[in-house]
Amino acid sequence: MTTAIYGFPEFSWRFMPIWRRNFLVWKKLAIASVLGNIAEPLITLLAFGYGLGSLLQNIEGIPYIQFLATGSICMSVMMAASFEALYSAFSRMHVQKTWEALLNAPLALDDVVLAEMLWAATKSLFSGIAILAVIFTLGIGLHAQTLLVLPVLFLVGMTFASLGLVMNAIANGYDFFTYYFTLVLTPMIFLSGVYYPTAQLPLWLQAIAQMLPLTAAVELIRPLLLGRWPANALADVTILATYCVAGFYIATVLTRRRLLK
């Protein structure tokens, strides 16, 4: 039993019907869902981009509206993936008992967790694409490098979905997620170069910021949208992949311990 709980997740194509089920449910409210996920970053972009941007002419040699837009898309994907992996996944697992119904079919719990992670990443990608459309209207991101933004955004979505499922596995109720948003995600936003360069932080905070997944996401996405190449692409991808793999493994183990007792 211990080996079964702590073993590495088993992957199979059986996750696809679960992913499709979540997609079909989401499709009924797709427009409202996407608008809800992009409303906050869009308001932030317009308010800070034009308001604060009128006072800050350039940041790292680019207009502030461009600096903020290329960071906000990462924040939007992070938040969309996190909401889906926390509130929606918890509802399906604990409140609606959808997971219990799925496990009565020829499916393994690993299939369910994998489907939830990939679905949260997919949904966050939809939000990212919507933000991209807004960015394009501002004349930002009209470069060949932008083609690489979508797979990077999907990796970012998988990373934060995996981390969110860790919290989902140990939560006793919706209120628990407030701590995660307040103590983890919100500080990460302010430390990861979304609103200002991380070089403005004290050296000890810069060291912490460089290990955060959102920082890696911003340092990959921002140059691509500005028509440049990331300075440390391999290191940043490695950071995201490490958080993703470690988070998914821990989430799977904790979910097994919770549901397979």
Name the pTM for this structure. 0.92
3-class DSSP state for residue 110? helix
3-class DSSP state for residue 4? helix
Nearest to 128 by CA among 85, 82, 76: 76
Q: Could you give the angle at which helices 233-259 and 213-225 cross, rounded to 10 degrees? A: 140
Tell me, what's the pLDDT at 49? 67
The domain locations on the chain are 15-259
pLDDT in tens, the chain (261 residues): 454 888 888 888 999 999 999 999 998 887 777 777 677 777 777 777 667 666 677 787 888 888 988 999 999 999 999 999 999 999 999 889 999 899 888 889 999 999 999 999 999 999 899 889 888 888 888 888 899 999 999 999 999 999 999 999 999 999 999 999 999 999 999 999 998 899 889 999 999 999 999 999 999 999 999 999 999 999 999 999 999 999 999 999 999 998 876
d(CA 73, CA 8): 32
* DSSP assignment letter at 94: I
Tell me, what's the pLDDT at 1? 45
Tell me, what's the pLDDT at 182? 95
Tell me, what's the pLDDT at 6? 85
Tell me, what's the pLDDT at 235? 96
Tell me, what's the pLDDT at 84? 94
d(CA 130, CA 142): 15
Please give the backbone phi and psi of residue 84, each rounded to the nearest 5 degrees, phi first.
-70, -40
Tell me, what's the pLDDT at 215? 97
Tell me, what's the pLDDT at 134? 84
Nearest to 130 by CA among 36, 47, 204, 55: 36
Q: Are 165 and 255 in contact (CB under 8 A)?
A: yes
Q: Could you give the angle at which helices 64-83 and 30-46 cross, rounded to 10 degrees? A: 150
Tell me, what's the pLDDT at 54? 65
